[in-house]
Amino acid sequence: MKAVGPVQAAFLRCWTRAQRIEGLNAMKVRLRLEIDAAGRVAASRNDADGESPALSRCLGLVARQLHFTAPGVPAVVEVPLMFR
């Protein structure tokens, strides 16, 4: 969760923007990140309890900014997000 802290405000901006564009209510999102051996996000996908193209696109862009401690081998991390 240390890696997510620096971009938490950006995730919230994604939510605020998507809420304004698409009129969203509260939503749970599971962000699935594929991390390369160096700790960089190689791919991201999110599963939400509702459809929101704007939110999905923005979360993916922000997720690419995350940097994790290098695991030495590719890894998958799931980050639960709750927006209200």
What is the model's pLDDT at position 56?
Answer: 92
- 0.85 surpassed by pTM: yes
3-state SS class at 46: strand
Radius of gyration of the chain from its Cα atoms, rounded to whole angstroms: 13
Question: Quick check: 12 and 45 in contact, CB under 8 A?
Answer: no
Q: What are 4-56's pLDDT values in tens digits?
A: 888 999 999 999 999 999 988 899 999 999 999 999 999 999 988 788 889 99
Q: What is the pLDDT of residues 38-51, one digit of tens each?
A: 999 999 999 887 88
Domains and CATH numbers, the chain: 5-83 (3.30.2420.10)
H or E stretch including 18? Answer: helix 8-22
Tokens of 78: 């799931």
In whole angstroms, give the CA distance from residue 73 to residue 6: 23
User: What's the residue count for the chain?
Assistant: 84
